């Protein structure tokens, strides 16, 4: 990255998936196609997207289901590699939260906390000091030595959020984190912790249908539609464009 203030950079990034047709194989030709790799169709999840995200920026990504938002976040984090010709770079310790995904299902909560926190740059001494706080915040004291594969989606989401709050990575890639972190009481606690502990001094990219959070915090908003970036700008400009151009009848934004 030439610009020292740019912390995330995407250049002409695309991601194509080839999905095998799973319909019943009725004929010899169908079986032959299955064996030879035929009967596939192409899904262009992200198409030629470019964006520069500066250090300390809060960027919101909005769009309908299936517009490519989560795939774009996975390209930023390196979970997916872009198609040939595109470049995705991230500079710094980061954490990607997707409703509790990203843990090793065969390891316990204790083991996952240690691994994830160390990846984000915490020393083992710091992890030891913060470990009990993380588990208490996630309300998982009784399940600390239970394998993640036995956790519900909400339990995994609470654990992931608790690690992020206490490890405080410099970059956060967040995918609908408030929609599945538990009951209303825990959701309120997590939103309060998010505002108090994570906003200041961090680079945040948030994918969300909760446009109020984006309205309140994002300096820049990207609108995705059918894999393409239609527009980048301030929230008022993007929400109006979203509503008028894509004929969205109701955007759930509080006044």
Residue 67 predicted with pLDDT over 90: yes
Domain edges within the chain: 1-92+211-255
For position 20, what pLDDT does the model report?
Answer: 67
Residues 6+ apart with CB under 8 A from 70: 98, 175, 207
* pLDDT tens-place string over residues 108-155: 999 999 988 887 778 899 999 999 999 999 999 999 999 999 998 888
For tokens 């915490």, name the residue: 122
Tokens standing for residue 255:
């006044």
The whole-number average pLDDT for the span 188-194 is: 80
* DSSP3 helix / strand / coil % (the chain, rounded to 5): 40, 25, 35
Residue 72, φ and ψ in degrees, nearest 5: -60, -40
Burial class (CB in 10 A: 0-12, 13-18, 19+), 221: buried
Contacts (Cβ under 8 Å, ≥6 apart) of 120 = 93, 94, 95, 163, 167, 169
Asked if residues 117 and 162 have their Cβ atoms less than 8 Å apart, the reply is no
Residue 104, Cβ neighbours under 10 Å: how many? 13
Mean pLDDT of the chain: 83
Q: Are 47 and 227 in contact (CB under 8 A)?
A: yes
Residue pLDDT, tens place only, 55-65: 999 999 999 88
> Could you tell me what percent of the chain has a pLDDT over 70?
82
Taking the C-alpha atoms of residue 6 and residue 49, their distance in angstroms, rounded to an integer, is 16
Q: Which fold has domain 1-92+211-255?
A: Rossmann fold (3.40.50)
């Amino acid at each position: 990255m030439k610009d020292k203030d740019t912390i995330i950079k995407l250049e002409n990034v695309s991601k194509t998936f080839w999905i095998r047709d799973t319909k019943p194989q009725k004929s010899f030709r169908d079986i032959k196609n299955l064996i030879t790799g035929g009967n596939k169709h192409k899904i262009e999840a992200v198409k030629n997207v470019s964006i520069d995200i500066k250090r300390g920026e809060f960027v919101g990504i909005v769009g309908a289901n299936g517009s490519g938002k989560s795939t774009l976040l996975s390209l930023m984090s390196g979970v997916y590699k872009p198609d040939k010709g595109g470049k995705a770079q991230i500079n710094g310790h980061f954490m990607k939260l997707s409703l509790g995904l990203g843990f090793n299902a065969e390891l316990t909560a204790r083991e996952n906390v240690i691994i994830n926190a160390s990846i984000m740059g915490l020393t083992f001494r710091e992890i030891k000091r913060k470990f009990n706080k993380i588990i208490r915040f996630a309300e998982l004291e009784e399940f600390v030595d239970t394998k993640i594969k036995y956790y519900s989606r909400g339990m995994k989401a609470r654990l992931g959020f608790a690690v992020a709050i206490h490890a405080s990575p410099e970059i956060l890639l967040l995918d609908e984190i408030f929609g599945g972190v538990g009951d209303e009481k825990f959701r309120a606690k997590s939103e309060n912790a998010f505002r108090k502990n994570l906003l200041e001094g961090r680079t945040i990219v948030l994918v969300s249908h909760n446009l109020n959070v984006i309205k309140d915090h994002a300096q820049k908003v990207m609108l995705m539609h059918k894999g393409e970036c239609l527009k980048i700008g301030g929230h008022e400009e993007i929400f109006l464009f979203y509503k008028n151009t894509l004929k969205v009848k109701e955007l759930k934004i509080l006044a």
